[in-house]
A = this chain, B = another copy of it.
């Protein structure tokens, strides 16, 4: 028997286990041109929360009663497609199923000898590309500048900060626990990190840590944490907006300070993006990330959860900040 996880209902606010449904189904068979895949690692990502709504986005909403999809590394079990042989590993946006078939068109082969399979969902996958392309193409870091990263112990944030350090920036991370702060400064080379839960005046704390002001704010969270950084931006600051995890579960976007006036006075740029906007630069990004990783200039942190049955709870835990670095589920 095969197993899949479908969207039973759209969450209002925070997603719950009851929004997901486990279904049993018969084992799929690879037809001519297809490969049979066994899921090995599944990525859970905050942006997926957006797909659970029926709102306009860069990617269609999940359908009710249809399987959830996300980044997956799978093993080819058998193949009726000449491009794949049994034992190959592939990555792509696939369904939350233990087994599935694919025509292979959207899959890329990954090399289990070059990096652990899970890395292709993280630093060598969408996560690393998002960090690199957002920081480089929008943030345009220059040597000696100050970079603040929110959600800094998350999958993308922890990579952004390390790239900032490689490029000679002063890097400050904003996180939600002291353990995460320690992880960033001890393991990932951040200059400093701030726990937003224990800092009663985040704006002033950032000012104290960055008396020279903030040149780049790589934003993964939105909301009040972002406000505190925005007030500290320098003239010509750049703000790549990668995500807004603090707002994903809000039924309404809510209100916040108006920054238009400040943005005019200081010529500030704020740009929402997904990595795919810079698809021409993906090869360049992967080359750099692989080289930095191989040279020991970067490291990555993963939170690996075991078991297909834990996929929904792993996803939900993202919004509680229960992950350090990239959250993946090992099947």
A residues with a Cβ closer than 8 A to B are: 50, 55-58, 219, 222-223, 226, 235-236, 241-244, 247-248, 253-274, 277
Contact = CB atoms under 8 A, between A and B. Distances in A.
Contacts of A262: 253, 272
Given A236-B277, A242-B264, A267-B274, 4 more contacts: A248-B261, A253-B258, A254-B258, A255-B255
B272 A271 contact: no
A273 B265 CA distance: 8
Contact of A58 (B55, B265, B270, B274): B265
Going nearest first, the 10 A-B pairs with the smallest beta carbon separation are A263-B272, A222-B260, A264-B272, A57-B265, A269-B271, A244-B261, A255-B255, A253-B258, A244-B260, A256-B258
Nearest to A50: B265
A55 B247 contact: no
A229 B273 CA distance: 20
B261 A268 contact: no
Contacts of A255: 255-258
What is the interface of chain A mostly: helix, strand, loop, or mixed?
mixed
A241 B259 CA distance: 11
Given A58-B235, A235-B58, A263 B258 contact: no
B265 A258 contact: no
Nearest to A248: B261
Q: How many copies does the complex hold?
A: 2
Contacts of A256: 255-256, 258
A305 to B, nearest CB: 25
Contacts of A241: 260, 263-264
Contacts of A269: 269-272
Contacts of A219: 260
Most chain B beta-carbon contacts within 10 A, residue among A222, A244, A261, A277: A261
Contacts of A253: 257-262
Given A256-B256, A261-B253, A58 B267 contact: yes
A265 B223 contact: no
A257 B247 CA distance: 12
A242 to B, nearest CB: 7
28 contacts: A55-B265, A56-B265, A58-B235, A58-B265, A58-B266, A58-B267, A222-B260, A223-B260, A226-B260, A236-B277, A242-B264, A243-B264, A247-B258, A247-B260, A247-B261, A248-B261, A253-B260, A253-B261, A255-B255, A255-B256, A256-B256, A264-B274, A265-B272, A267-B272, A267-B274, A268-B271, A268-B272, A269-B269
